[in-house]
Each structure stands twice: as structure tokens, then as C-alpha cells.
């Protein structure tokens, strides 16, 4: 990569203030966009850039903007800064160190979308970052970059920093909208999609912090030139947050399409000496895991999808061979169980039962059949809820069961032996003893489960 776009000199002292940001060309793109370009031209550049959303779903931002109905009405831009996907901390860095880049991006995006109100929904835990954003916003208001008739262009925008109060589900776009409207953050049925009926029932553009931060760079370079970065269907640069068992955890800006090995070993230094990569999440805890054999897969949206996983938010969590896979699965299941909003049954019950079954394994009460049941529970969650929170547990747990089945089985046997239930104790007698509480899982009668039942 020739030059960092988002992280360029990100630690320059005072960059969070307007003076330093302006001194290095900040708000110049806003001036150009609002004074020299029509909203259609700005939208054209966004579409030409092929920029895909950096929040998780990877939907093309230009397309999202173009879905908003035209005409005069109350339209909204919402910046999703509720960064709660386990392993993700890239937006935190951007908001803390370069808040004006986000504000500039939001104003340009609102110009393209024809929106006059915008909100930044930041998670409540990010106290420092929200305070910095508030201060930056005040500066931007005073300088006339936000407010009435910005730079004499006729475009007006009010911008509010809204602090959440700790709920993962509020990072889901419709849950976020409900939360922003002052309700419990329950996701909504889609369609209608937010582009048609979002905040206060008005057309709403929702984008991630990193996506909006990229907008000024796209205006500066031109969409076509930006699209030359990265690979054909995954253009541009991406921030990756690397954490877990690596020597140099942190945020890195990469050009999409580089080999994953370069991120985990090249940039983050790989696992500690003498350890090797057992599995890794390529895009936060919601993405199906990959193993040490998958390190040569290019890190871009489509290559990850082809490998059966997803790039998600760009959070690489590395697990080395010292950790039992069951521990990882339990952490994942516990998290989604806690964060399920409880609205849809497959997610509320599926996350709960999955966690309980994993605990059964750890406590030496499970039989190999439990793995089948657990895998079947995951299949029954996917696609059956209003939002993808349940899927976000089902996909990684399902992938762990598929890729580490031997280890799950060995764990069951070891834990049973510890409990005095060796391999000699046939699974049927174990079921006779423990089957009843499980009967609720698959609505099966107590007794041996036919493995082909699902």
C-alpha cells in the first residue's frame, strides 16, 4: 500500500482539534463537494468507488444512498458508532484521534442523500470518544461546517452525538433506530428497509464510522481512482483490528485482498513463540472460524465468502493451540445469549440452549449425540429471526462443530471420565439419566436420539 488513507499520521498531536485537521487539508473536500459538485455528482463518485460498508454486511454504500427516495422530505443520516462486535475496535481509534474526518464524511454523505438531520449513535462505553466527538462537533459548528447553509451552499445539517447505554443489539441497524427513538433496542421487521422507512419513519441512510470516514478520501481521489485500490469487488483500504493470541495486537490499515497470513503474521507478529494458529475469526465473533490452514486466503469480502465465512467488521481474533475449542465456543455462546434481545424465539432459546449444552459438555454430562443436537439447533436458528444476532452465534458455533468435531468428542469423553462415566457407560444409560431435561431441545421423547432425525 502506497499511503494510508484513514490512518495517515493519525497520532499527530492535536489532530482531534479543528486547527490541526484543517492545516492538513481537512474540510477541503467538504468545500469542494458542496460548492463545486451537485449531490448527484457526489453520489456518482461514491458509486464509482464501489466502497462496501465497513460495518459488517459489506453492502455498497453508493447503492445504499441511491435507494433513498428523491424529493423534499425529512431524511436522516445515522452514523452507526455502536461498535460492539467482539474483537472490533477500529472505529474507536478513528473517533478518538480524527473525529473531524467522521464529521466531514457525514456532512458530505448527507449532502448526497439530501438529508438535513444526522445522528452519531455511539456506544455508551466509549466515554472518551463521545466527549472528543462532542468537542469536535462544537468546533465544526462554530466554523460553519455543520448547521444552517453550510459554506453558503444552501445545504443545512444538524448533527447530534447520541450516546447508547450498553446493548450489542443496538449495533443492528433497526435496533439502533428504535434505541435512537428512545425505546428498547429491538430490531424491526424488514422490509421496509431503513432507506424507505427508518428513523421517525423517514428515509434513513445508516453507515458505519469507517465507511463515512472514507468519504472525504473518495471525493479527494475520485471514485474511479479509489476503486483501483484493493481488488475488483472489494475496493479500497480497510482497517483490521487484530487481537487475541498475537504479539502485536492493534489496528492496521491494509489494502483489501492481501493474504490473511500477512495480517496475522506479518503485521500482528503471529501467536507467541512456539505456538501456532488453531483457529481465527476473520470478521469478529459472528464470522465462522477458519483454521491455520486457511491463512493464505486473500483478505477481501468475496474470498472470505467463498471460504464459507465473512469479512464482517474486519476484526481478526486469533486463537492459538493452547486453548480448547470448547472455551472459545462457550465464550461466543454466552455472549450472544446475554445480548439476545429476546424478541424472536429461535434466537432467545437457541442461544440459551446452546450455552447450556456446551456447559453440559464441560461438566461431563454430555454424550456425542449432544453434538448432533447442538448442530441442529444452529441450523434452526439461521434465517428464522428478525435480525441476524442468532445467526451470528449459529454460524461460528456451527463452523466450530464442523471443523473441530474430534476435539468436541474428545472433550466429552475426557469430561465424562472425570465424572466416573467412562466410555464403558453406554450413551443410552447416560441418556436415561440425563435425557429428560434435554427433551425440550428438539421436542423429542427422552431416550436415544436417532441421529438422522434432523
Site for another protein in 420-449 (CB under 8 A): 433-434, 437
| Residue with Cβ nearer another protein (60 or 323) | 323
**Binding segment for another protein among 59-67, 152-160, 302-310, 442-450 (CB under 8 A)?**
152-160
Is 291 near another protein (CB under 8 A)? no
**Binding segment for another protein among 1-9, 291-299, 369-377, 442-450 (CB under 8 A)?**
1-9
CA dihedral sign, ordered 424, 427, 432, 436: positive
Residues whose CB is less than 8 angstroms from the CB of residue 50 and which lie 6 or more positions away in sequence, other chains included: 60, 62, 223, 227, 233, 235, 236
| Residue with Cβ nearer another protein (13 or 71) | 13
Q: How far is the CB of 73 from another protein (least distance, A)?
A: 13
| Residue with Cβ nearer another protein (200 or 222) | 200
Q: How far is the CB of 10 from another protein (least distance, A)?
A: 5
Closest CA to 53 of 68, 65, 70: 65
Is 370 near another protein (CB under 8 A)? no
| Residue with Cβ nearer another protein (276 or 363) | 363
Residues whose CB is less than 8 angstroms from the CB of residue 21 and which lie 6 or more positions away in sequence, other chains included: 15, 27, 98, 100, 101
Site for another protein in 393-422 (CB under 8 A): 419
Q: Is the peptide bond before 192 cis (omega within 30 degrees of 0)?
A: yes
Q: From the CB of residue 344, how many other CB atoms can be counted at a distance below 10 Å? A: 19
Q: Do 333 and 357 meet the contact criterion of CB atoms below 8 Å apart?
A: no
Q: Do 335 and 322 meet the contact criterion of CB atoms below 8 Å apart?
A: no
Is 54 near another protein (CB under 8 A)? no
Site for another protein in 85-144 (CB under 8 A): 85-89, 91-93, 96-97, 116-117, 123-128, 134, 138, 141
Say how many residues touch another protein, by CB under 8 A: 91
CA 252 to CA 370: how far, in whole Å? 40
Residue choice 207, 241, 260, 354 for contact with another protein (CB under 8 A): 241
Is 259 near another protein (CB under 8 A)? no
Is 339 near another protein (CB under 8 A)? yes
Q: How far is the CB of 248 from another protein (least distance, A)?
A: 6
* Strand 117-122 versus strand 76-81 pairing type: parallel
Please tell me whether residue 281 adopts helix, strand or coil conformation.
strand
| Residue with Cβ nearer another protein (38 or 419) | 419
CA 78 to CA 256: how far, in whole Å? 26
The CA dihedral of 398, 402, 408, 412, to the nearest 10 degrees, is 80
**Binding segment for another protein among 47-55, 163-171, 204-212, 223-231 (CB under 8 A)?**
163-171
Please name the residue ranges forming H helices in 366-404: 368-381, 389-403
| Residue with Cβ nearer another protein (134 or 302) | 134
**Binding segment for another protein among 27-35, 52-60, 62-70, 150-158 (CB under 8 A)?**
150-158
Q: Exposed, middle or buried by CB within 10 Å (0-12, 13-18, 19+), for 382?
A: middle
Q: How far is the CB of 268 from another protein (least distance, A)?
A: 8
Please tell me whether residue 401 adopts helix, strand or coil conformation.
helix
Residue choice 42, 62, 79, 83 for contact with another protein (CB under 8 A): 83
Structure letter (DSSP) for residue 262: I
Residue choice 244, 283, 314, 346 for contact with another protein (CB under 8 A): 244
Residue choice 164, 203, 223, 312 for contact with another protein (CB under 8 A): 164
Is 23 near another protein (CB under 8 A)? no
Q: How far is the CB of 1 from another protein (least distance, A)?
A: 7
Amino acid at each position: 500500500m502506497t499511503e494510508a488513507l484513514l490512518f495517515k499520521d493519525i497520532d499527530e498531536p492535536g489532530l482531534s482539534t479543528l486547527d490541526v485537521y484543517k492545516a492538513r487539508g481537512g474540510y477541503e473536500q467538504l468545500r469542494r463537494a458542496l460548492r463545486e459538485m451537485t449531490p448527484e455528482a457526489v453520489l456518482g463518485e461514491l458509486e464509482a468507488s464501489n466502497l462496501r460498508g465497513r460495518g459488517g454486511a459489506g453492502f455498497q454504500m453508493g447503492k445504499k444512498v441511491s435507494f433513498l427516495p428523491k424529493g423534499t422530505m425529512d431524511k436522516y443520516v445515522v452514523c452507526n458508532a455502536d461498535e460492539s462486535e467482539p474483537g472490533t475496535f477500529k472505529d474507536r481509534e478513528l473517533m478518538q484521534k480524527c473525529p473531524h474526518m467522521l464529521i466531514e464524511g457525514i456532512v458530505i454523505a448527507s449532502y448526497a442523500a439530501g438529508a438535513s438531520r444526522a445522528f452519531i449513535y455511539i456506544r455508551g462505553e466509549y466515554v472518551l470518544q463521545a466527549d472528543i466527538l462532542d468537542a469536535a462537533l462544537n468546533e465544526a459548528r462554530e466554523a460553519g461546517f455543520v448547521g444552517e447553509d453550510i459554506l453558503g451552499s444552501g445545504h443545512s445539517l444538524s448533527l447530534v452525538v447520541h450516546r447508547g447505554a450498553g446493548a450489542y443489539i443496538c449495533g443492528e441497524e433497526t435496533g439502533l433506530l428504535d434505541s435512537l427513538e428512545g425505546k428498547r433496542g429491538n430490531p424491526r421487521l424488514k422490509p421496509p428497509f431503513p432507506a424507505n422507512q427508518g428513523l421517525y419513519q423517514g428515509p434513513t441512510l445508516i453507515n458505519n464510522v469507517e465507511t463515512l470516514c472514507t468519504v472525504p478520501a473518495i471525493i479527494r481521489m475520485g471514485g474511479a481512482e479509489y476503486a483501483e485500490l484493493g481488488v475488483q469487488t472489494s475496493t479500497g483500504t480497510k482497517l483490521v483490528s487484530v487481537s487475541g493470541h498475537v504479539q502485536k495486537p492493534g489496528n492496521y490499515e491494509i489494502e483489501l485482498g492481501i493474504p490473511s497470513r500477512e495480517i496475522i503474521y506479518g503485521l500482528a507478529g503471529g501467536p507467541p513463540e512456539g505456538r501456532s494458529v488453531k483457529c481465527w475469526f476473520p470478521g469478529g465473533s459472528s464470522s465462522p472460524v477458519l483454521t491455520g490452514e486457511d491463512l493464505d486466503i486473500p483478505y477481501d469480502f468475496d474470498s472470505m465468502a467463498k471460504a464459507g465465512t465473512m469479512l464482517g467488521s474486519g476484526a481478526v481474533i486469533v486463537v492459538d493451540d493452547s486453548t480448547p475449542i470448547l472455551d472459545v465456543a462457550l465464550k461466543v455462546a454466552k455472549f450472544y445469549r446475554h445480548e439476545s434481545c429476546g424478541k424472536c424465539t429461535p434466537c432467545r432459546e437457541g442461544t440459551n440452549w446452546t450455552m447450556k449444552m456446551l456447559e453440559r459438555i464441560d461438566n461431563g454430562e454430555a454424550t456425542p449425540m449432544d453434538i448432533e443436537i447442538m448442530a441442529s439447533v444452529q441450523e434452526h436458528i439461521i434465517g428464522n429471526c428478525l435480525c441476524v444476532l442468532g445467526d451470528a452465534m449459529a454460524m461460528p458455533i456451527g463452523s466450530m462443530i464442523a471443523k473441530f468435531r474430534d476435539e468436541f468428542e474428545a472433550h466429552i469423553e475426557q469430561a465424562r471420565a472425570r465424572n466416573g462415566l467412562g466410555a464403558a457407560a453406554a450413551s443410552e444409560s447416560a441418556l436415561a439419566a440425563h435425557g429428560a431435561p434435554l427433551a425440550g431441545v428438539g421436542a423429542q421423547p427422552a431416550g436415544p436420539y436417532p441421529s438422522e432425525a434432523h
